């Protein structure tokens, strides 16, 4: 009986769904547009003096998001491993309009580091209103060509655990303020693109994690998932070299600021959407049409990518562990390992406070985080 029912539904459900969508689409689009207009004018969150923690804030999308929050008068906590870059971003954010800015050098793939920077943020400001996770690491290699698998866990750590750990630690404080989590995802979480197998898998896991968390939190904490296609950033310009397996080291001469163009537009959309309470921000929107192809005619996508690959000529991919015995030197750093606001290592400096105490009284969360196990703090206001 069940087999018969499934057979009937396989034949009826897809065309019936298409017919219903064809008739309902105009009405649903009008409702969505009306809701967006209402939220833009009457339900936008005022970020004046609120506290925003941004990971991966040293460059690219994280840097631009910091500037957008600064324009709204927020208090910022900028987190990344590149402390020197954080100083530059901090100074510019204060010039734009941020009330207070503190920088914390930390690694988002380490739970202790995440506990440390969230605890420091709460001790300093007394609250957390928005947590913005932007650290992300991509690649452009064919899976079959990789011989050094030590890069695999690093890609998963940055793209998945680098979001989960900060969320886990910050969640009790966000529940106190009915705050919001902003996630930097990518269209690759459902749109399969060649040479991005591990990146796509990590982003799919990330999006599904936050979709599940959205239901679990039951609107106690809002979640905005931002997905993008290809945008200009250090992701497409930077060069990296590998040290000690999968550890990433940023080449200083490739440090470039991400200004203007699609990246800045995407950052504006993310912050505006988060303040409106939008569950999703998409840039550009036309990528959604491929979702219909994937659901109803998946072969079209497969044929399209086959055609693109067949006209590509000889393969040119990144050199992460490709080839036997290849030294990881300057020549092998020409791979296109792409970073969206990602964080290489910088030595921590001694603690240094230059500002008055926070305006908000610190309060204990429902689930208090344990004290950080660090003898020194690396927190500075600039």
Catalytic residues, by residue number, are 199
Element (H, E) at 101: strand 101-105
Residue 357: CB atoms within 10 A of its CB come to 10
Q: How many helices (H) and strands (E) does the chain have?
A: 10, 12
CB contact at 8 A, 281 and 183: no
Q: What is the C-alpha to C-alpha distance for residues 174 and 19, in angstroms, rounded to an integer?
A: 42
What are 213's strand-pairing partners?
A: none
Q: What is the C-alpha to C-alpha distance for residues 242 and 321, in angstroms, rounded to an integer?
A: 10
CB contact at 8 A, 109 and 157: yes
Tokens of 354: 């230059």
Helices (H), 181-312: 197-217, 261-276, 289-296, 298-310
Tokens 């397996």, residue located? 245
What are 137's strand-pairing partners?
A: 339
Q: What is the C-alpha to C-alpha distance for residues 223 and 214, in angstroms, rounded to an integer?
A: 6
Q: How far is CA 180 from the centre of its chain?
A: 14
Residue 270: CB atoms within 10 A of its CB come to 26
CB contact at 8 A, 245 and 204: no
DSSP designation for 150: T
Helices (H), 72-110: 83-96
Phi/psi at 54 (5° precision): -125, 120
CB contact at 8 A, 234 and 339: yes
């Amino acid at each position: 009986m069940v087999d018969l029912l499934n057979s009937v539904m396989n034949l009826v459900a897809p065309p019936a769904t298409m017919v219903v969508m064809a008739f309902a689409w105009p009405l649903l689009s009008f409702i969505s547009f009306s809701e967006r207009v209402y939220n833009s004018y009457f339900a936008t969150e005022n970020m004046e003096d609120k506290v925003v923690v941004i990971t991966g804030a040293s460059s690219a999308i994280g840097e631009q998001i910091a500037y957008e929050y600064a324009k709204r008068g927020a208090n910022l906590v900028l987190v990344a491993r590149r402390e020197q870059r954080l100083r530059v971003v901090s100074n510019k954010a204060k010039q734009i309009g941020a009330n207070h800015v503190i920088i914390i050098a930390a690694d988002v793939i380490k739970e202790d580091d995440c506990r440390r920077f969230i605890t420091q943020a709460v001790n300093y400001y007394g609250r957390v209103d928005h947590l913005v996770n932007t650290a992300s690491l991509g690649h452009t290699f064919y899976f079959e060509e990789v011989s050094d698998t030590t890069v695999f866990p690093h890609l998963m750590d940055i793209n998945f655990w680098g979001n989960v750990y900060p969320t886990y630690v910050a969640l009790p404080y966000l529940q106190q303020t009915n705050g919001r989590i902003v996630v930097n995802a990518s269209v690759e979480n459902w749109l399969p693109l060649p040479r991005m197998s591990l990146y796509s898998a990590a982003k799919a896991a990330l999006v599904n994690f936050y979709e599940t968390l959205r239901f679990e939190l039951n609107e106690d904490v809002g979640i905005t998932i931002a997905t993008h296609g290809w945008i200009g950033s250090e992701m497409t310009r930077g060069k990296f070299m590998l040290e000690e397996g999968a550890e990433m080291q940023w080449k200083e001469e490739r440090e470039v600021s991400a200004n203007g163009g699609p990246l800045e537009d995407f950052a504006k959309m993310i912050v505006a959407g988060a303040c409106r309470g939008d569950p999703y921000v998409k840039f550009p929107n036309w990528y959604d049409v491929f979702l219909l192809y994937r659901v109803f005619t998946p072969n079209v996508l497969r044929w399209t990518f086959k055609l693109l690959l067949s006209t590509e000529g000889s393969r040119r991919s990144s050199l992460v562990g490709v080839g036997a015995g290849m030294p990881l030197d300057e020549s092998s750093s020409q791979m296109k390992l792409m970073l969206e606001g990602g964080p290489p290592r910088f030595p921590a400096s001694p603690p240094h406070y230059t500002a008055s105490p926070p305006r908000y009284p610190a309060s204990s969360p429902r689930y208090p985080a344990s004290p950080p196990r660090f003898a020194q703090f690396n927190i500075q206001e600039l």
